Amino acid sequence: MAAKTDVFQSPDYFLLDELLTEEHKLIRDSVRAYVKKEISPVIEDYAQRAEFPQQIIPQLGALGCFGPTIPEAYGGGGLDYISYGLMMQELERGDSGVRSTASVQGSLVMFPIYAYGSEEMKKRILPKLASGEWLGCFGLTEPDHGSDPGGMLSNIRDAGDHVILNGSKMWISNAPFAQIAVVWAKDEAGEIRGMIAERGMEGFSTPSTHGKWSLRASATGELVFDQVKIPKANLFPDIRGLKGPLSCLTKARFGIAWGAVGAAMDCYDTALRYSKERMQFGRPIAGFQLQQKKLAEMITEITKAQLMNWRLGVLMNEQKASPAQVSMAKRNGCEIAANIARDARQILGGMGITGEYPVMRHMMNMESVLTYEGTHDVHLLITGMDVTGLNAFK
Ligand code: FAD
């Protein structure tokens, strides 16, 4: 397939740029320029071949997209949450798989090492992850425990200066290419502990997951642990229980909320341009009321979601955002992006199902984004529990 020119123009119906600082706009524009130059021309081919574009690892590192909120002393960007959100928005505007690579690295691997790791671990590992020299992955989900990770079966047993890790994790983004994995497993007391498994440890393997119709340009795999010796220095010393992994997920879900809106913006922009150019019955299809209804609803939902994300970013910066607020924004972003991708696909008619346009790829990607990091239903139940005080999970 021929390389494509990316003519994206960002929708900003409520002049939200006025809420951003000059630094925010500079960061957003540099990631947007990167996506136009390095991602858009090639991503469709990678997705069609179901291949992970490995070159993005050092590129995203150089761009500062790995761990932007981690302090500079550990190789991070030392930036605020609006900057992080804008980066994720722009990356997912290109492809959800590219954003997933950055989300996992920054929020699910670097964040727990920064928040829960020993000083030695932080100094040894974080700069390598920030630069993209190493790729990391996050192992929480198991074959029989997805929405209910507290039931996990992966376990560790004390063996002196190390622990023995057994179990398996499924659906792990970045796994096939990762040098390290942040893994969650239960100790003898049944408490969830976090630790770092390193590629090359005996008994640790990362088989690839094949046959996905979604996130095809993202590498997904399993983590299999067969009597793996993990040195005690690789355990997070002070964190116990589900709050460890859940705190990482809150950070990543914040990025997904912004990222999904990026995908929606790309679908809207594509559909708007196409509808003005495509002639039927002697006039542009954009002139027909039915197409205008779709476009008008798309830009309304995008604008509402952009406002929600911006406000959430401010609350994150002020350390006032609750996990339930992040759940709402993640769910909302995914919902509007999935609906907008579907409507945009219809506006493009038959062309909408081809790789000539990014819409069908975004639409299929959104099916994963709706499900991972807490399903659409689970986030609704979190909002329900937050407003009623009643737990409807069990
Ligand atoms: P299940 O938990 O089996 O859910 C199936 C259905 O039941 C869903 O619709 C769900 O909403 C519903 N359901 C479950 N419980 C309830 C309830 N109490 N009330 C009502 N409905 C309920 N995991 C990682 O740890 N690391 C990763 O890097 C990672 N990357 C992923 C990448 C991809 C492409 C995908 C698809 C998944 C990834 N995941 C990852 C796993 C993901 O987080 C899980 O798929 C998700 O949590 C849902 O788990 P499940 O698939 O087992 O579905």
| Torsion sign (Cα): 22, 25, 31, 33 | negative
Helical residues (DSSP H) of the chain, grouped into ranges: 22-34, 43-49, 56-63, 81-94, 96-103, 111-116, 119-131, 243-277, 289-317, 323-347, 359-371, 376-388
Distant-in-sequence, close-in-space partners of 279: CB < 8 Å, separation ≥ 6: 285
- d(CA 219, CA 89) in angstroms, rounded, equals 20
- What are the distances in angstroms from CA 211 to CA 144, 219, 220, 358? 20, 11, 10, 20
pLDDT at residue 1 above 60? no
- d(CA 362, CA 92) in angstroms, rounded, equals 9
Q: How far is the CA of 143 from the centre of ligand 1 (A)?
A: 10
Nearest protein CA to atom 17 of ligand 1, as residue: 393
The model's pLDDT over 74-98, given as tens digits with 9 standing for 90+, comes to 999 999 999 999 999 999 999 999 9
Residue type, 167: G
Q: What is the pLDDT of residue 299?
A: 98
Conformational region of residue 160, where left means phi above 0, alpha means psi within -120 to 50, and beta covers everything else: left
pLDDT at residue 2 above 60? no
Helical residues (DSSP H) of 278-322, grouped into ranges: 289-317
Q: What is the pLDDT of residue 194?
A: 98
Whether this prediction's pTM lies above 0.85 is answered by: yes
Task: Find residue 157's DSSP bridge partners.
Answer: 164
Number of the ligand 1 atom closest to the C-alpha atom of 149: 47
Q: How far is the CA of 12 from the centre of ligand 1 (A)?
A: 33
Ligand 1 environment, Cβ below 6 A = 104, 137-141, 146-147, 171-173, 215, 220, 368, 371-373, 375, 377-378, 381, 393
The model's pLDDT over 48-83, given as tens digits with 9 standing for 90+, comes to 999 999 999 999 999 999 999 999 999 999 999 999
Q: Residue 27 in contact with residue 87, Cβ under 8 Å?
A: yes
Q: Residue 92 in contact with residue 305, Cβ under 8 Å?
A: no
Strands 220-231, 162-173: pairing kind: antiparallel
Nearest protein CA to atom 19 of ligand 1, as residue: 393
Q: How far is the CA of 140 from the centre of ligand 1 (A)?
A: 11
Both structure tokens of 324:
């339930």
- d(CA 254, CA 313) in angstroms, rounded, equals 8
